[in-house]
Structure 1
Amino acid sequence: MAVRPLSVVVRGVGLTGPGLVSWAAAQAVLRGDAAYGPAPAVVPASPRLPAAERRRAGTAIKIAMAVADAACTDAGADPQTLGSVFTSSSGDGNNCHTLCETLGNPNPADRLVSPTRFTNSVHNAPAGYWHIAVGSRAASTSLCAFDASFSAGLIAALAQVHAARTPLLLVASDTPYPEPLHTVRHLPDTLGVALVLAPVPTGETPDAANAMTLCVTLCPAEQAPPETPCRDAALEALRQQIPAARALPLLEALARGVAATVVIAAAAPLVLVIEVVPA
């Protein structure tokens, strides 16, 4: 049985990934108006962090902060006021690898773990860096649901927006593991997506170009259409390979600005059916 649908308004979007420099630059590609050009993801260091912290922060923290900042800017939202949901299927793989190497050293004297590495090893490190950097004391949730991490994050964000009736920042990001973990868990590159979501206004219709409405239903896969693929073959490969890229069909619909139905897998055997309603 499907769960009663929940609706939210999309106020802002952030995107960085392979061949997708930013949400603004990627919209023509996502609409199908320009060809997708595969290229390694370029992840900028956050200007919100002090120089020392910028050097210590790994890619997992940088990508999450970059798309969070971009979504808040796109929404014209003050990040200090926003609660957040951060979701990732893997966390900081490079840091995990280095910790394993350190702890596996045969010489006990070489098994000392640096405080920074330990701090960055926890799954909510990106959320912690973000909230400290923007001075936010709002509530934050960090979660992981393997390949369904974006869907899990969206479900959590929907529930919180409806419960609190306030805007919220959703951030989904993934970074590759180094070898030998890369062979077991192959993520080809880094990708991050962020959405600023808000309650649907009562008695009025959103009229901003970036204020489209999502009506989201959680239902059994057998009662829903198949998962929505990306229209571009290379983007579809990203969608299948990087969990955070499961958001790409939704971003395609937002970029086109027309009514659409997007189906994204959640925890099996459930899916999210998302009706995208133009402003």
Structure 2
Amino acid sequence: MIAVNGIGFWAPGFAGLGAFRAGEADRDLTMPKCEVVTARARRGTSRIGRMLAEVTTQAAADASVDLGAVPTVYASAWGEIDIMINLLGQIADGDVGLSPLRFKHSVHNSASGMVSIAAGNRTFSTALAAGRKTFEQGVLEALTYLTTTDADHVILAVAEDRLPAPLDRFGEYEALAVAFCFGTDAREGAHGTLSFPKRTGEPFRPDLPELYAENPTAFALPVLDALANPEGAEGLALSAAPRPFAIDVLSAEQSRTEP
């Protein structure tokens, strides 16, 4: 079983998982603090870049791992789409004087580079996209790395911002970012454990919150719920695919009693 030693969470109105679970929304909270990155380095960054940096930092702190040494996997279906649409709009309008700063942050691994530079992290880091299967593939990437290398921890950060026009016809949802710090062994205060993903024809598919239902990151929410549920969950689907990869989740209470 894989230990979940740290969790990060951010959504508009909710600075962390505790506030989200308590339903204590701060309507003035529209941008993550992203304090790991200097104010100068944050110039030209998008909200999704800051979201990914924020939850990665939270997960590392929660697990008491060194952000400057832990491997990272970043996952987003659309990535830096807001910056890209803005740049393409400028080109369409005949403005070829694109901002180098904005262009630098338009690449899919922008958050990976931003956090790695800020934390001085020279270890493994990657960024991926897989549409509605992005969370599923992110989990597979992170856990495969953890179980096939000598790493003792890896952080998976997955996020999606609201889609800008004209792409909003592909889904209307609220922004959401979640991170997990997975470990080979459970540390004090671990949130629980989970199995390596396996394909299943009869997955458990809990309903997703309406506000986030079309957000590819929303598939992380049932995992958070299962970790907080004393009974955990069996065969929890990681995507909406007909035969998705699924995991068994044990809560912290169950993990402590497992042989």
1:153 lines up with 2:138 in the alignment: yes
State the TM-score, normalizing by the size of structure 1.
0.82
Distance in 2 between residues matched to 1:207 and 1:63, nearest whole Å? 25
- State the match for 1:141 in structure 2: 126
1:78 lines up with 2:51 in the alignment: no
Q: For residues 40 and 146 of structure 1, do their structure 2 counterparts lie closer, same or farther at Cα, with a shift above 3 Å needed?
A: farther
- State the match for 2:171 in structure 1: 186
Q: For residues 265 and 73 of structure 1, do their structure 2 counterparts lie closer, same or farther at Cα, with a shift above 3 Å needed?
A: closer
Distance in 1 between residues matched to 2:240 and 2:174, nearest whole Å? 23
Residue type of the partner of 2:161? T
SS of 1:129 mapped into structure 2: helix
Higher relative contact order (CA 8 A, sep 6+): 1
C-alpha distance after superposition, 1:193-251 (max 9, x if no partner)? 0000011x4xxxx463324110133214xx22342224xxxxx2144211111110110
SS of 1:56 mapped into structure 2: coil
Distance in 1 between residues matched to 2:188 and 2:116, nearest whole Å? 27
Structure-to-structure mapping, 1:18-167, within 5 angstroms: 18-26=12-20, 29=21, 34=22, 42-106=30-94, 110-166=95-151, 167=153
1:212 lines up with 2:212 in the alignment: no
Q: For residues 266 and 256 of structure 1, do their structure 2 counterparts lie closer, same or farther at Cα, with a shift above 3 Å needed?
A: closer
Q: For residues 141 and 48 of structure 1, do their structure 2 counterparts lie closer, same or farther at Cα, with a shift above 3 Å needed?
A: same
> Once the two structures are aligned, what percentage of the paired residues are identical?
27
How far does residue 77 in structure 1 lie from its aligned partner after superposition? Answer: 0.9
Find 2:7's aligned residue among 6, 13, 16: 13
Find 1:253's aligned residue among 211, 220, 226: 226
- State the match for 1:4 in structure 2: none
Structure 1: give runs of 5+ residues left out of the alignment.
1-6, 231-235
Q: For residues 81 and 89 of structure 1, do their structure 2 counterparts lie closer, same or farther at Cα, with a shift above 3 Å needed?
A: same
How far does residue 187 in structure 1 lie from its aligned partner after superposition? Answer: 3.6
Residue type of the partner of 2:249? V
Is the CA contact 1:191–1:245 (under 8 Å) kept in the aligned structure 2?
Answer: yes
- Aligned length, in residue pairs: 251
1:240 lines up with 2:240 in the alignment: no
- State the match for 1:269 in structure 2: 242
Distance in 1 between residues matched to 2:194 and 2:106, nearest whole Å? 34
Q: For residues 40 and 151 of structure 1, do their structure 2 counterparts lie closer, same or farther at Cα, with a shift above 3 Å needed?
A: farther
How far does residue 41 in structure 1 lie from its aligned partner after superposition? Answer: 6.0
How far does residue 47 in structure 1 lie from its aligned partner after superposition? Answer: 1.8
C-alpha distance after superposition, 1:95-150 (max 9, x if no partner)? 011111111123xxx21221112111110001110111110001111100011111
Is the CA contact 2:12–2:31 (under 8 Å) kept in the aligned structure 1?
Answer: no
Q: For residues 90 and 23 of structure 1, do their structure 2 counterparts lie closer, same or farther at Cα, with a shift above 3 Å needed?
A: same
